[in-house]
Structure 1
Amino acid sequence: MSIDLHEANRLSWNAATVAHNSHKGDQAAFFRAGGSTLYPEEIELLGDIAGLDVLHLQCNSGQDSLSLARRGANVTGVDISDEAIAFATRLSAESGIAAVFERSDLFGWFDDARKAGRRFDRVFASYGTICWLSNLGVWARGIADVLKPGGRFAFVEFHPFAMVFDQGWKPHYDYAPKDPVAEAGVGDYVADSGAGLAHGGYQEGVVGFANPHPSFEFNWGIADVVQALIDAGLRMEVLKEYPYANGWVAFEGMRDLGGGRMAPPAAMPSLPLMYAIVAAKVGSTAEYREKAGRPSS
């Protein structure tokens, strides 16, 4: 595992998070007025979460976490970024929506959660999360270990096929390369996407953001994700693909289909830009691994 690269990403995210939130206006007022940052896809995948214990992995600045809490869940959000967790904690207090936020590298958090016997009815992650993780096996086993029997993992992510293109829709990158990709740093994708990622109204905020800290991304294909979850003992229940990306304006000429669903230009063929998974925990994870001859941690 490349924990040293995770640490580099923490520094890069700390810088980028300040720029991202500068574009989103008065977020506490947005939530106090009944706002939500969830898209219909997440709501459908999670189902009724009222009264359930929900773990939000890589929760960023907590906007989706608070939207989950508004739906009646008892929410715990975890993120590696100090800046993101500090912002989420303030936003919870200022909006009056209760949630718990914990700052940790996800792999270390899973170790601590196992030791403490923490369990959740739902685990949730969405949009640009697993590209920051150096080992999907550790991720999937951690999810399985903190789910209650009968609990579910709901996941929506940008489609790895879309990542083969440069901004001008020209095939340029390998599909799911196995080595980490060094980048100049987490960019200001909120500024690039405008209102699509600023639900309460876009404002100019930080202009010309340049991240002083490099970042490192890990690219995973859909088969990598599905196999990791199966190997961890989870049962696949849902696998969907979507011909649009929620809120993210990643390429030239993208068009809004309504509700922030961004699609390729009309002249292009339909392409998968997002996918979603729901996986369930059936029985004991330890029993499954013993039967399958797999290690328990």
Structure 2
Amino acid sequence: MKQDLHEANRLSWNAATVAHNSHKGDQAAFFREGGSTLFPEEAGLLGDVKGLRVLHLQCNAGQDSLSIARLGAEVTGVDISDEAVDFATQLSQQSGIAARFVRSDVYDYFREAQARGEKHHIVFCSYGTLCWLSDIGAWARGVAQMLEPGGRFVFIEFHPFALVFDPAWKFHYDYFNEAPVPEEGVGDYVAESGDGLVREGYERGVENFANPHPSFEFTWGVGQVTTALSQAGLVIGRLDEYPYANGWKPFEGMRDIGGRRMAPPEGMPRIPLMYSISARKP
């Protein structure tokens, strides 16, 4: 693991999280009124979670964690950002939806949780998580260690093929990339996507956000991810690809084809923009 890069990313996420949440209005009221931030894809993959222990890795500011907890799960959310975990903890209290949030690098959490014998029925992560992981094999082994026998790993992510493009759909980044990719910092993708990532009541909030902290990303192809999970002992039941991105509009001309599913412009060939994996621990 590259702890120095993880620390840089923590600082970058702390700054970005403030900007992201500035666009989302009164989130506690949204949840008190029965709101959920889950898209149908992850809700379907999760299935009935009532009474189950769910570990939500890289949970960000906790909105999806609380949406899962509302369905009756006992949820633990883990994120590297102090700002995100503080916000999530406060949102849990203000919304009246119980969940536990822990500030930790996922690799540290795996080690500490394994030492105390912690196990879960479901490990879940979604949307923009893998690019922050410096060791995909250690991550997959950690996921497997956190699961009870018969437990499930549920994962949905933006497709790495889509990440080779710049905003104008020009090829720019390597699909195969062994080294961390330095960036100017976590951007305000919530503002860029507007009402795509805010279910209702988008607010202008922080404008022209420029992150003062650089960030570092890692590229993991679908083959690397599935191989790592398989080698960790998980049995992959499904791998699905989707020709749209839920909520996210990173490229020019993306259009909502219904349900905040964002697709390429009319006339452009369909390409995979998301994929999901459902796996089980024997």
TM-score of the superposed pair, with normalisation by structure 1: 0.94
Give yes or no for contact 1:120–1:148 (8 Å, CA) kept in 2. yes
1:130 matched to which residue of 2?
130
1:160 aligned residue = 160
Task: Work out the CA distance in 2 between the residues paired with 1:84 and 1:161.
Answer: 28
- Is 2:199 the counterpart of 1:199? yes
Secondary structure, in 3 states, of the residue corresponding to 1:160? coil
RMSD (Å), alpha carbons:
0.6
On the 8 A contact 1:27/1:200 being kept in 2, the answer is no
Distance in 1, matches of 2:179 and 2:197, equals 29
Q: By how many angstroms is 1:176 displaced?
A: 3.2
Map 1:214-253 onto structure 2 (within 5 A).
214-253=214-253
Corresponding residue number in structure 1 for 2:278: 278
Instruction: Determine if contact 1:59/1:79 at 8 Å carries over to the other structure.
Output: yes
Q: Which runs of 5+ in 1 are unaligned?
A: 283-297
Q: Normalized against structure 2, the TM-score is what?
A: 0.99
Aligned pair count? 282
For 1:92 and 1:69, how far apart are their aligned partners in 2? 10
Letter in 2 for 1:212: P
What amino acid does structure 1 have at the position aligned with 2:222? I
Mapped to 1, the partners of 2:135 and 2:42 lie a distance apart of: 24
Q: Deviations over 1:73-96 (max 9, x none)?
A: 000000000000000000000000
| 1:44 counterpart residue number | 44
Contact 1:20 1:191 (C-alpha < 8 Å) held by counterparts: yes
What is the CA–CA distance in structure 2 between the aligned matches of 1:176 and 1:278, rounded to whole Å?
Answer: 24
Q: How far off is 1:276 after superposition?
A: 0.2
Residue by residue, what CA displacement relative to the aligned partner does 1:93-124 show, whole Å, maximum 9, x if unpaired? 00000000000011000000000000000000
Distance 2:122 2:262 in 1: 28
Instruction: Please report how far the alpha carbon of residue 173 of structure 1 lies from its aligned counterpart in structure 2 after TM superposition.
Output: 1.5
Q: Which amino acid aligns with 1:66?
A: L
1:46-88 C-alpha deviation (Å, 9 max, x unpaired): 1110110000000000000000001110000000000000000
Shift of 1:200: 3.3
Q: Which residue number corresponds to residue 293 of structure 1?
A: none
Paired residue secondary structure (2:230): helix
Q: Is the 8 A contact 1:37 1:199 kept in 2?
A: yes
Cα separation, 2, equivalents of 1:146 and 1:108: 13
| 2:64 match | 64
| Matching of residues 1-297 of structure 1 within 5 Å | 1-282=1-282
SS at match of 1:153: strand
Task: For residue 139 of structure 1, report the CA deviation from its aligned partner.
Answer: 0.5
**Code of the aligned partner of 1:68:** I
Give CA-to-partner distance per residue, 1:155-175, whole Å, 9 cap, x none: 000000001111111112111
CA distance in 1, matches of 2:139, 2:47: 23
Give the 3-state SS of the residue equivalent to 2:155 in structure 1.
strand
Q: Is the contact made by 1:160 and 1:176 (CA closer than 8 Å) also made in structure 2?
A: no
- Structure 2: how far apart are the matches of 1:112 and 1:4? 20
Whole-angstrom distance in 1 between the partners of 2:8 and 2:228: 25
SS in 2 for 1:216: strand
CA distance in 2: counterparts of 1:173 and 1:144, whole angstroms: 31
Segments of structure 2 that go 5 or more residues without pairing to the other structure are none
User: 1:186 & 1:173 partners in 2: Cα distance?
Assistant: 17
Secondary structure of the 1:139 match is helix
Secondary structure, in 3 states, of the residue corresponding to 2:239?
A: strand
Q: Which amino acid in structure 2 is aligned with residue 182 of structure 1?
A: P
Give the aligned residue type for 1:115. A
